[in-house]
Amino acid sequence: MRTLIEDIHSLTRRIGRPVRLMEVCGTHTVAVFRHGIRSILPEEILLLSGPGCPVCVTPVEDIDTAVEMARLPDVILATFGDMMRVPGSGVNLQEARADGSDIRVVYSPMDALDIAAANPDKRVVFLATGFETTSPSVAATLCEADRKGVGNFLVYSNHKLVPPALRTLLGDDRVDVDGFILPGHVSTIIGAQPYEFISAEHGKPAVITGFEARDILEAIAMLLAQIVKGEPGVEIQYTRAVRPEGNPRAVALMETCFHPVDVRWRGIGKIAESGLSLREEFRHRDAPRVFGLAVEGGPEPAGCSCGDILKGIKVPTECPLFAASCTPESPVGACMVSSEGSCAAYYRYGIRR
Tell whether 168 and 296 lie within a shared domain. Answer: yes
Residue 221, domain member (yes or no): yes
Q: In the 3-class helix/strand/coil scheme, how is the chain assigned residue by residue? A: CHHHHHHHHHHHHHHCCCEEEEEEEHHHHHHHHHCCHHHHCCCCEEEEEEEECCCCCCCHHHHHHHHHHHHCCCEEEEECHHHCCCCCCCCCHHHHHHCCCEEEECCCHHHHHHHHHHCCCCEEEEEEEECCCCHHHHHHHHHHHHHHCCCCEEEEEEEECHHHHHHHHHCCCCCCCCEEEECHHHHHHHCCHHHCHHHHCCCCCEEECCCCHHHHHHHHHHHHHHHHHCCCCEEECCCCCCCCCCCHHHHHHHHHHEEEEEEEECCCEEEEEEEEEECHHHHHHEHHHHHCCCCCCCCCCCCCCHHHHHCCCCCHHHCCCECCCECCCCCCCHHHCCCCCHHHHHHHCCCCC
The pLDDT tens digits for 162-215 are: 999 999 999 999 999 999 999 999 999 999 999 999 999 999 999 999 999 999
- Domains identified in the chain, total number: 2
The pLDDT tens digits for 271-300 are: 999 999 999 999 999 999 999 987 776 677
Tell whether 239 and 322 lie within a shared domain. Answer: no
Tell whether 215 and 252 lie within a shared domain. Answer: yes
- Domain residue limits at 198: 1-300
Tell whether 75 and 35 lie within a shared domain. Answer: yes
Residue 152, domain member (yes or no): yes
Residue 353, domain member (yes or no): no
The model's pTM is 0.92
Tell whether 327 and 263 lie within a shared domain. Answer: no
Residue 344, domain member (yes or no): yes
Residue 133, domain member (yes or no): yes
The pLDDT tens digits for 84-94 are: 999 888 899 99
Tell whether 330 and 263 lie within a shared domain. Answer: no
Tell whether 157 and 235 lie within a shared domain. Answer: yes
What pLDDT, on a 0 to 100 scale, did the predictor assign at position 132?
A: 95
Tell whether 287 and 312 lie within a shared domain. Answer: no
Tell whether 33 and 48 lie within a shared domain. Answer: yes
Tell whether 91 and 218 lie within a shared domain. Answer: yes
| Final residue belonging to a domain, choices 278, 300, 322 | 300
Tell whether 195 and 326 lie within a shared domain. Answer: no
